[in-house]
Amino acid sequence: MRSVLPVLTVVAVILGLWYAASVWLNAQWALDMAARQDRELGGIALVLDTWSQDKPKLPAPHQVAAELWKTTIGQNITSKRSLVYHGWVTLSATLAGFGLGTVLGISLAVGIVYNRVMDMSVMPWVIASQTIPILAIAPMIIVVLNAMGISGLLPKAMISMYLSFFPVVVGMVKGLRSPSRMQLDQMRTWSATRPQEFLRLRLPASMPYLFASMKIAMAASLVGAIVGELPTGAVAGLGARLLAGSYYGQTIQIWSALFMAAIVAAGMVGLIGLIQRVTLKRMGMT
């Protein structure tokens, strides 16, 4: 109970600010409409009007909640109007990209830790890859892969991978190097082979780093999948909903898609956190 109260307080403050902001941003439109129709609008009526417009500049929280309810619970999940359907389209690409990115990230980290040439050469490229704006190369990846006859989930997954391998490389290089000089010397006194040293010392020691990196990678991966859905012309996915919403000024649809993305991200990051807790507890590392 003690921990619920502060959370509720913060939520209440955010909702309060949000409602106030939507009054402030939507009032001009309501007043303009009233002036055109020669109506007087003020006080409570003005406030209520700003919270119930069809295409508000900033929809009120209850409008977004109603839209979320309508497009998730109120729709068959195979329907193109269902946010669950669009959410799944995005999530599947996110998970595929996250998986590929994690594997690529760990492989590069192992290479960097064990191979001197890779240690000297790979990291600058890895960092350079992340300085390129993803919005600039996402369409190129989509177009190039489409020309090669690859469309659908894979191009989006590639963009997710591009964003998500980076935190994994950085975290795992640090994690695989976390054993102390003494622990490595100790392995040497037992004449351990490199694979033995890797499996019994470096890999288990890197686990806390891996989970921290995977949480960041998952969030980045979702952003990648959404960005990957934009250039395909609003076919399906949360990115498509965002794009379609902005074409037609459907701000409520945009906000509900944004919330869906946030819920998916929070769920996935929470899931990794759960696996982290269970794994580290079983390893005796909590």
Exactly one of 192, 244, 263, 269 binds other proteins (CB under 8 A); which one?
Answer: 192
CB of residue 279 vs other proteins: minimum separation in angstroms?
Answer: 10
Q: Give how far the C-alpha of residue 63 lies from the chain's centroid of Cα atoms, to the nearest Å.
A: 24
User: Which is closer to other proteins, CB of 74 or CB of 204?
Assistant: 204
Question: Do residues 133 and 162 make contact, with C-beta atoms less than 8 angstroms apart?
Answer: no
Does the protein bind other proteins through residue 212 (CB under 8 A)? no
Does the protein bind other proteins through residue 189 (CB under 8 A)? yes
Taken in order 260, 265, 271, 274, the sign of the CA dihedral is negative
Does the protein bind other proteins through residue 204 (CB under 8 A)? yes
Closest CA to 121 of 129, 112, 132, 130: 112
3 state DSSP class of 231: coil
By rule CB under 8 A, what string of x and - marks binding of each residue 73-102 to other proteins? ------------------------------
Does the protein bind other proteins through residue 52 (CB under 8 A)? no
Question: What CA–CA distance (Å, rounded) separates 172 from 156?
Answer: 24
User: Which is closer to other proteins, CB of 207 or CB of 258?
Assistant: 207
DSSP state string for 236-276: SSHHHHHHHHHHTT-HHHHHHHHHHHHHHHHHHHHHHHHHH
- Which residues are CB-neighbours of 229 under 8 A, at least 6 positions away? 89, 90, 93, 156, 235, 236, 237, 238, 239, 240, 243
User: Which is closer to other proteins, CB of 156 or CB of 202?
Assistant: 202
Paired tokens of 121 = 């050469």
Question: Do residues 279 and 209 make contact, with C-beta atoms less than 8 angstroms apart?
Answer: no
User: Which is closer to other proteins, CB of 37 or CB of 193?
Assistant: 193
User: Which is closer to other proteins, CB of 3 or CB of 193?
Assistant: 193
Does the protein bind other proteins through residue 281 (CB under 8 A)? no
Q: By CB under 8 A, which span of 13-21, 130-138, 185-193, 269-277 interacts with other proteins?
A: 185-193
Does the protein bind other proteins through residue 278 (CB under 8 A)? no
- List of residues contacting other proteins (CB under 8 A): 180, 182-183, 185-193, 196, 200-201, 204-205, 207, 283-285
